[in-house]
Amino acid sequence: MRHIISLLIENESGALSRVAGLYSARGYNIESLTVAPTDDPSLSRMTIVTFGSDTVVEQIAKQTDKLIDVVRLVTYTETPHVERELMMVKLRAIGAQREEAMRLVSIFRAKIVDVTDSTYVVEVTGDSGKIDAFLGAVPSEQILEVVRSGVVGIARGESALKV
Amino acid sequence: MELSGAEILFKCLEAEEVEYVFGYPGGAVLHIYDALYKQDTVKHILVRHEQGATHAADGYSRATGRPGVCLVTSGPGATNAVTGLATAYTDSIPLVVITGQVAQPMIGTDAFQECDIIGISRPCVKHNFLVDSLENLAMTVKKAFHIATTGRPGPVVIDIPKNLTDPNITIPFDYPADIEMRSYKPAISGTQGDIQRAVDLLVSAKKPMIYAGGGVILGEASTQLTALGRELGYPVTNTLMGLGCYPASDPQFVGMLGMHGTYESNMAMHECDVLLAVGARFDDRVTGQIDTFCPHARVIHIDVDPANIAKNFPVEVPIVGDTKAVLEDMLALLSETNRRADPDAIAHWWDQIKSWQSINSYNYDRNSSLIKPQFVVEKYCELTEGQAFVTSDVGQHQMFAAQFYRFDHPRRWINSGGLGTMGFGLPAAMGVRFAHPDAEIGCVTGEGSIQMCLQELSTCKQYGVAFNILNLNNGYLGMVRQWQEFTYESRYSSSYVDALPDFVGLVEAYGHVGMVIDKPGDVEGALREAIAMKDRLCFLDFRIDTEENVYPMIEQGKGHHEMRLNPRRSEFA
């Protein structure tokens, strides 16, 4: 089962490698990991997407929480939450491909953020499924380059992951 | 008062009441060693290899409960300390290891003796720090001691760049009295609801079992565990790490459990209906095949580390907390309510356990013309009245020591349980000696293990450190040979140690006393002589039966009820 682990970690050098190292050392599967400072510059927020049974993910969460730098940690599995991922994809756009790409961009409510004679860079945001669907809809020979941010997630409503 | 970084470091160690630092100098820590020279509060023990420093500090810590401290240089000094860090980490031993680092402007330039010890040590320490400024040094040391000694203890590395210890740069010194870390708040006491549920479950038992590990020793909870065991009248077993946390001479003690535990403790684990696990982590050497581990038991697990609970085995009543605080709460609740299990059921359970005990699973041939390793340990225990500190290395001798020395007190059994580090015993015994100058100390080792940190005999010479080394010499890597015999059709691939040194000549070269003992009749006399010799290190080279195996044994993939017993045990008197 897919799980999202969100955590606040001291914004100190080496904090990311402590988390990443824990995953590789313990053989945990990690689908994506995103990290950036929050409104409080002393704290970074990390979102980890992982797959595993409930017991495996419970253990992943406990081991991660045990790291000295981790201030708070929650797991969004059943919790109603919103998640987003950003992708930028560079498409070959020559002749009829240009029209077709524009149409897809419009259907997916994506954005063209760079244009040349022969390429488009398209920005797509949404849950990972939507991004996968966009990639699936574009003919593969047209895709020049893909960059995805990994997932970020936040709980709905009043609950907040704060210190 | 303005102090340099090196001076601040010693002021911090003084504030932490550090008695000994085990270390080895080098370029990156020369400012620190110069400051060491100018102070006389903290005593420095010069080892011969940084691994020896870490094991000595570890032995000191295990024997006292206080954190062990090391000081090593950058690069190879730091990397040599890694085995000791991993050893302490696996057994949750509090250490503070100070490593020198190249000067900050040199970091990342592949400078001489530069290495990323923060990166290297990360998976085998509780935490590590690269000190980034002189202003943060004192606070970092405070945090390091706090993290190493609280919660589930463990080793902490402080990596200090050389420029931060420069004697020409000084700042005012102020050691923080208290520490508050928003990201680190270990649990102390379990919740009352859980403790109530645990007591309810315990008194409902018909076939209870108490399984106690190293966490009881680390949590200084032996008195409480012993009180609880006796209050309830339940059988108690210890893990390898827990030996001594419940008195081995107590009639309720059913011996060690696990791979080389007693038949009765493993059978009782297999049959029990309620299992109280205290400060034990369900290690694979204890559980054997996990699918067949305690198949009938409802489990209560007390552990200070929440990640240990339900890590390897599902638990019905999890209690996260300090073993001492939780056991005190359980005792209080038991005495308030005066509830006990059905005495008939417990009596019946004891009858069953006694019938398992009657097979005498540790029995060995006492009439052999060869020296039996079990006999050496048994005799040593008898002559020291079970009061010695026993360090060990790893292998058959370690298991014989665990099986045949009866530990009645915590912190007497000093061994690398989790990591299984060969070379641990000799430097650990040095650490114990500094902690307890007058105690009886024996390092039970084998000819394979002792050669892994043998250079520390030189440290022993320098400081006049005296204890006894009991070398159970069978000319094989015994445990490797045993496994090869059992599972590889006796193909002894590289388990034979050819070209052994003349150990007596070797230790005499270091200024110590050596003896060779090759007849069972000489064992007692040699041990008596060694024990009486208080001012010299004595190395007893026992030429033991080369084919002796450790029994019983649970082989890989087997359950507790499928122990391999000594096939010849019925022939022994």
Contact A68 B127 (CB under 8 A): yes
- Quick one: closest CA in B to A62, which residue? B307
Tokens of B114: 């530069």
Q: Quick check: bond before B552 cis, omega within 30? A: yes
**What value does the mean pLDDT of chain B take?**
96
Average pLDDT of span A88-110: 96
What percent of chain B stands above pLDDT 70?
100
**Is residue B404's pLDDT more than 80?**
yes
Point out the residue among A14, A63, A71 whose CB comes nearest to the CB of B182.
A71
- Which of chain B's residues have a Cβ under 8 Å away from the Cβ of A25? 123
Q: Active-site residues of B: which are they?
A: 50, 112-113, 162, 479
Point out the residue among A13, A18, A163 whose CB comes nearest to the CB of B122.
A18
Give dist(CA B511, CA B450) in Å, integer.
Answer: 17
**Is residue B539's pLDDT more than 80?**
yes
CB of B185 within 8 Å of any CB in chain A? no
Q: Are B424 and B451 in contact (CB under 8 A)?
A: no
Contacts of B439 (CB under 8 A, 6+ apart): B388, B389, B432, B433
pLDDT in tens, B182-191: 999 998 888 8
Nearest C-alpha of chain A: how many angstroms from B103?
17
**Is residue B257's pLDDT more than 80?**
yes
**What's at B553, amino acid-wise?**
M
Contact B307 A71 (CB under 8 A): no
pLDDT in tens, B154-192: 999 999 999 999 999 999 999 999 999 999 999 888 889
Which region holds residue A66: left if phi is over 0, alpha if psi is between -120 and 50, else beta?
alpha
Give dist(CA B143, CA B127) in Å, integer.
Answer: 10
* Least confident residue range of A16-25, B250-259, B366-375: A16-25
Contact B122 A71 (CB under 8 A): no
Count CA atoms within 13 Å of residue B175 on its CB side.
18
Average pLDDT of span B369-376: 98
Confidence (pLDDT) at B573: 65
Give dist(CA B235, CA B274) in Å, integer.
Answer: 11
**Is residue B383's pLDDT more than 90?**
yes
Contact A62 B306 (CB under 8 A): yes
Look up the ipTM and state it. Answer: 0.91
pLDDT in tens, A7-66: 999 998 888 999 999 998 988 988 999 999 999 999 999 999 999 888 889 999 999 999
Best to test chain A binding among B131, B157, B183, B184 (most A CBs inside 10 Å)? B183
Contact A21 B310 (CB under 8 A): no
Contact B122 A68 (CB under 8 A): no
- Quick one: closest CA in B to A57, which residue? B311
Q: What angle do CA B441, B444, B445 make, to 5 degrees?
A: 140
**What value does the mean pLDDT of chain A take?**
94
**B408: part of which helix (H) or strand (E)?**
none
pLDDT in tens, B190-247: 889 999 999 999 999 999 999 999 999 999 999 999 999 999 999 999 999 999 999 9
Confidence (pLDDT) at B187: 82
What percent of chain A stands above pLDDT 70?
100
